[in-house]
Chains A and B, each alone.
Chain A
Amino acid sequence: MRSTLVSLAAFALLAALPAWAQTSTISPDRIDAVIKSAFPNAPEDFKSRLLPDATMKDCTAHANNPPPAIAEAIQKSEAATIQYPPDGKFLGDWRKGEALAQSGYGLRFSDYPPTRANGGNCYACHQLTRQELSYGTVGPSLLEYGKLRDFKAEDAKTVYEKIYDPHVALACSLMPRFGSNKVLTIDQIKDIVALLMSPDSPVNK
């Protein structure tokens, strides 16, 4: 009974999917093969980048708008990937966080061998401070983020989780999984949390 309801719901959602998601005539195997031959000189440790993991497969298949059952499954499995700071503290140094938010360095093929730490490149997609006018709008403005939340401790934890793995809050977020994909370290994420959540951070001035 329950499973009939779920599959009915899934069916209804499937009908609402954009045309390409249903009618793509290209088999997944063909796509994977085409991708492999598009990057013949990929270094050994880049090869895993060519294939999507289960979450990315689901998000692509559903045009980033999965039916509730799949969304829930994604959120659950992504939540299990989050590692929390061993000292239980979520706020690092906002000054370092600002530098990380500015830096787009890291993981591009021209960034090897690495000469410095990866950045978070938050400004590429978000407004964060009034001083920085060169910000993108793929994500919402984060201006006064902590102030608007009264600097509550539980929000610092939520922000940590959002940066570590944005798919927990939104199954097919467009934002990178900075922690789960090992782009940023736990300490770097704490520094960025401080940028958003410290009363003395320029984000909240």
Chain B
Amino acid sequence: MKPRRMLLAAACIALILPFAAPAQDETEKGLEKYRQMLKEDPWSNPGFLDADRGETLWMTPRGPKNVSLEACDLGKGPGRVDGAFAELPRYFADADRVMDVETRVLWCMATLQGFSREQLTTKPHPAGGQPVKEIGAIATFIASKSNGLAFAAPLGPKEKEMAALGEALFVRRSGPFDFACATCHAEEGRRIRLQGLPVLAQPEAARKVVGEWPGYRVSASHVMTMQHRLYDCYWQMRMPELEFGSEASVALVAYLVKQAQGGPISAPGLKR
């Protein structure tokens, strides 16, 4: 990698960080400028450090069984990473479950490498400023290997059922604030405070943002995965802690990816 450039990138990002909420418009402009820079030099996104870390984790023999993840089948055969993310979530016969990238990596680390599932799913997401955890780094690596491709998740009966379940969860209201995902993500031009709310219920809007996950989150200075994003949205909804790799989390990812079908993948993206 190019550490000098990474440092430069980190400095740029620090400069565009919001100092106060009303500076948000400026922040958006700064982010846009930075996104432009990234197009010219994609390697200056600090999220690629985590993709690199993920690649090393993928290739290194580790865990109680001391094997690498190169026997892990992401859907295109053991060890095939290129283009695999574009076809997730999908049904895996060995696990008899539909899985998104993070759930699949968890499954491979537990079954192939012998890591404890419980340890991997306790505190699965980083606190602000901390680097993304191992599963997230590996997911970032896998996602980045589908860059430039369009989402084309298989839509067999099991995957379809999962996306339908995700849609049902998306509109389901409960909790002390009576929120559903749709409360915040179903209407055009809405904001929470100054944060724009993508209309994930509409394919055009979903196609623009879903492919940027996992993404480098500037305000927390770490890579955030899609499961982490959903965990955070349930936190705002005053619901309990979303279980990593739960059926609900996979179903929501399946729904979001179905909404974004045909949209481009550019991971890690750059988020507020």
Whether chains A and B associate is: yes
* Residue ranges of A at the interface with B (Cβ–Cβ < 8 Å): 20, 24-26, 30-31, 34-35, 37-43, 46, 49-52, 56, 59-60, 63-64, 107-110, 123-125, 133-138, 174, 176-177, 181-183
Q: How far is it, in angstroms, between the C-alpha of A31 and the C-alpha of B252 when the chains are bound?
A: 12
Q: In the complex, are the beta carbons of B176 and A183 less than 8 A apart?
A: yes
Tell which of B172, B182, B238 touches A107, judged by Cβ atoms closer than 8 Å: B238
Q: Inside 8 A of A123's CB, which chain B residues have their CB? A: 193
Q: In the complex, are the beta carbons of B168 and A26 less than 8 A apart?
A: yes
Q: Which of B167-199 contact A (CB under 8 A)?
A: 167-169, 171-180, 182-184, 187, 189-195, 197
Q: Inside 8 A of B238's CB, which chain A residues have their CB? A: 49, 107-108
List the 7 closest pairs (A to B, CB-CB), nearest first. A38-B248, A134-B21, A42-B240, A39-B240, A38-B246, A176-B177, A52-B174
Q: In the complex, are the beta carbons of A52 and B173 less than 8 A apart?
A: yes
Q: Inside 8 A of B179's CB, which chain A residues have their CB? A: 176
> B56: CB under 8 A from chain A?
no
Q: In the complex, are the beta carbons of A137 and B191 less than 8 A apart?
A: yes
Q: How far is the CB of B92 from the nearest CB of chain A, in Å?
A: 18
- For the A-B complex, the count of residue pairs with Cβ-Cβ distances under 8 Å equals 130
Assess A25 versus B161: contact at CB under 8 Å? Given A31-B168, A177-B178: yes
> B243: CB under 8 A from chain A?
yes
Q: How far is the CB of B235 from the nearest CB of chain A, in Å?
A: 5
Q: How far is the CB of B36 from the nearest CB of chain A, in Å?
A: 26
Q: Which of B1-30 contact A (CB under 8 A)?
A: 21-22, 24
Q: How far is it, in angstroms, between the C-alpha of A123 and the C-alpha of B191 when the chains are bound?
A: 11
* Residue ranges of B at the interface with A (Cβ–Cβ < 8 Å): 21-22, 24, 161, 164-165, 167-169, 171-180, 182-184, 187, 189-195, 197, 235-236, 238-243, 246-249, 251
Q: In the complex, are the beta carbons of A107 and B176 less than 8 A apart?
A: yes
Assess A25 versus B164: contact at CB under 8 Å? Given A51-B174, A134-B193, A183-B176: yes
Tell which of A26, A60, A63 touches B165, judged by Cβ atoms closer than 8 Å: A26
Which chain B residue lies CB-closest to A107? B238
Q: How far is it, in angstroms, between the C-alpha of A107 and the C-alpha of B240 when the chains are bound?
A: 10
Q: In the complex, are the beta carbons of B243 and A40 less than 8 A apart?
A: yes
A/B interface sample: 29 pairs, CB < 8 A: A24-B168, A26-B161, A31-B165, A31-B169, A34-B251, A35-B169, A37-B243, A37-B246, A38-B246, A38-B247, A49-B175, A50-B174, A56-B178, A60-B172, A109-B235, A109-B239, A134-B24, A134-B194, A135-B194, A136-B190, A136-B194, A137-B189, A138-B190, A138-B192, A138-B197, A174-B178, A177-B178, A181-B178, A183-B176
Q: How far is it, in angstroms, between the C-alpha of A49 and the C-alpha of B176 when the chains are bound?
A: 7
Q: How far is the CB of B189 from the nearest CB of chain A, in Å?
A: 7
Q: Inside 8 A of A39's CB, which chain B residues have their CB? A: 239-243, 246
User: Which applies to chain A's interface (DSSP): helix, strand, loop or mixed?
Assistant: loop
Q: How far is it, in angstroms, between the C-alpha of A30 and the C-alpha of B193 when the chains are bound?
A: 35
Q: In the complex, are the beta carbons of A138 and B184 less than 8 A apart?
A: yes
Tell which of B22, B172, B190, B249 touches A133, judged by Cβ atoms closer than 8 Å: B22
Q: Inside 8 A of A108's CB, which chain B residues have their CB? A: 235-236, 238
Q: In the complex, are the beta carbons of A63 and B173 less than 8 A apart?
A: no
Q: How far is it, in angstroms, between the C-alpha of A124 and the C-alpha of B172 when the chains are bound?
A: 21
Q: How far is the CB of A39 from the nearest CB of chain B, in Å?
A: 4
Q: How far is the CB of B229 from the nearest CB of chain A, in Å?
A: 15
Select the residue from A38, A60, A63, A133 with max chain B CB neighbours within 10 A. A38
Q: Inside 8 A of A30's CB, which chain B residues have their CB? A: 165
Q: In the complex, are the beta carbons of B243 and A134 less than 8 A apart?
A: no
Tell which of B164, B173, B193 touches A24, judged by Cβ atoms closer than 8 Å: B164
Q: How far is it, in angstroms, between the C-alpha of A20 and the C-alpha of B243 when the chains are bound?
A: 26
Assess A183 versus B177: contact at CB under 8 Å? Given A26-B168, A138-B183: yes
Q: Inside 8 A of B161's CB, which chain A residues have their CB? A: 25-26
Q: In the complex, are the beta carbons of A56 and B173 less than 8 A apart?
A: yes
Assess A60 versus B171: contact at CB under 8 Å? Given A107-B176, A182-B176: yes
